[in-house]
Amino acid sequence: MHAFDYGRLLGDFRVDAVYLHPFEVTVDAGVVGPYMASFLDATPMWSSDRFARAARLSARPVPPHLLLNLGLSFSVHDVSQQAIAHLAYVRVAFPKPLPLGGTVRGATQVMAARASASGDMGVVTVHTVLVDEHGERVLDFERKALIRTGTLDTRPPLPTEVAGTDAARLWLGRMPTAHFIDHLAHLELGASAFVPPLFGTYEDLEPGLVLAHAAGRTVGDSEHMQLATLCRNTHPLHWDEAYCQSHSFKRTRVVYGGLVLAWTLAQASIDVGGHVLWEAGWSDGAHPAPVLAGDTIFAATQVLARHPAGRHAGVVTLRHVGLKNLPSRDALAQGLDLFTPERDKPDTARVEAKVFEITRDVLVRRRS
């Protein structure tokens, strides 16, 4: 009898190794529809073919936060199924859009693996990509995970690892040559892209502005499990109650963090998403606390900076935070420091309700 385990322990990671993830998924309406039905995302580029065609796209692109959820989930099988925690999103980039119906596969390269002073765990930094059917990158990100020391003797001897070979370069794909953001920044969308006006043009989003997004989002029990499996997340921490009773630090299923990210961005989108054209890059992200079924997620946003990018758009830098069971307007009224990264605070200043934080650069339409 064989009982296989997946993921890796600290001793199994080799710097520069490339892990070829097992899933290849065509991201069609059957994937995007159920996913987006759980997010009241107000960004027309992710939901309207008409709007996307006005931007000279063949169809609406797959929502970038869905691409990130697929990339994170694909990598669990080879990277983090044995992890203690996901520590940080170092950087996230979306080099080109994936049109609805495109096909993606993924691979991860190990950037660093460092043991902690205690010797019982360590931090692994990995670089994960998704490439489309043309071999071009549609997602490119680095993250850090906290991993227990040791080696995983029960991992099956599958040929999933390559290093320094043409096969590795093929799986890691090519960066696209077109500068998609430049194209959108200089494009006059005109009346053909009109949608009912929402707050959140480039001119509206002045540096220093703080927005307490009003609505909360209660996470359903079966809902978060279905979305985790839709994204191909193989970690039983998110959908196997029997496993969690003996292996989860909460003794029950924990909501997959990529979904908390997406719910936070969706909560914010009603105020800042109506004129977003594309994601210019994310950084400095983390999940300071877990979310369980029944928790309610609230969001807040601070505008950090902005600069023109072309005749018709500019890049706005936003800091988003997600809170559980504490409305953001109440948190701000209490004088809580929501927007400083939790790792940079003394223990006495930390916000226990904070479950997500990230800095996000977005390309936003100008009024004229």
pLDDT tens-place string over residues 239-272: 999 999 998 888 899 999 999 999 999 999 999 9
CA atoms of 52 and 192, how far apart (whole Å): 10
CB 183 within 8 A of CB 56: yes
pLDDT in tens, 301-335: 999 999 999 888 999 999 999 999 999 999 999 99
pLDDT in tens, 102-132: 999 999 999 999 998 888 899 999 999 999 9
C-alpha distance from residue 150 to each of 11, 21, 144, 147 (Å) = 5, 22, 18, 9
Answer with the residue of higher pLDDT: 292 or 2: 292
CATH topology of domain 1-27+62-178: Thiol Ester Dehydrase; Chain A (3.10.129)
Two tokens, residue 77: 């099988």
Distance of alpha carbon 174 from the chain centroid: 21
pLDDT of amino acid 194: 67
Do 180-368 and 1-27+62-178 have the same topology in CATH? yes
0.85 surpassed by pTM: yes
Task: For 44-88, give the DSSP string.
Answer: HHHH-HHHHHHTT-SSPBPPHHHHHHHHHHHHIIIIITTEEEEEE
CB 27 within 8 A of CB 106: no
Report the candidate in 20, 53, 343, 12 with the shortest Cα–Cα distance to residue 162: 20
Report the candidate in 314, 294, 207, 304 with the shortest Cα–Cα distance to residue 250: 294
pLDDT in tens, 7-51: 899 999 999 999 999 999 999 999 999 999 999 899 999 999 988
CB 260 within 8 A of CB 288: no
Burial class (CB in 10 A: 0-12, 13-18, 19+), 337: middle
CB 16 within 8 A of CB 109: yes
pLDDT of amino acid 196: 67
Q: Is the pLDDT of residue 192 over 80?
A: no
CA atoms of 213 and 218, how far apart (whole Å): 15
Q: What is the chain's mean pLDDT, rounded?
A: 92
pLDDT in tens, 217-232: 999 999 999 999 999 9
Domain boundaries, the chain: 1-27+62-178, 180-368
The pLDDT > 70 percentage for the chain reads: 97
Cα 257–Cα 207–Cα 139 angle in degrees, nearest 5: 35
CA atoms of 54 and 74, how far apart (whole Å): 32
Two tokens, residue 320: 């988003």
pLDDT of amino acid 3: 78
Burial code (b: 16+ CB inside 10 Å, e: under 16) for 118-152 equals eeebbbbbbbbbbbbeeebbbbbbbbbbbbeeeeb
Q: What is the dihedral of CA 241, 247, 249, 253, to 10 degrees?
A: -20
Beta bridge partners of 320: 301, 358
pLDDT, average across residues 80-84: 89
Neighbours of 249 (CB within 10 A): 11
DSSP SS3 for 120: coil
pLDDT of amino acid 250: 86
Report the candidate in 361, 323, 351, 368 with the shortest Cα–Cα distance to residue 64: 361
Q: Is the pLDDT of residue 99 over 90?
A: yes
CATH of the domain spanning 180-368, picked from 3.40.50.2000, 3.10.129.10, 3.40.109.10, 2.40.30.10: 3.10.129.10
The pLDDT > 90 percentage for the chain reads: 74
pLDDT of amino acid 88: 95
CA atoms of 30 and 267, how far apart (whole Å): 23
DSSP SS3 for 351: coil
Report the candidate in 97, 101, 32, 42 with the shortest Cα–Cα distance to residue 69: 32
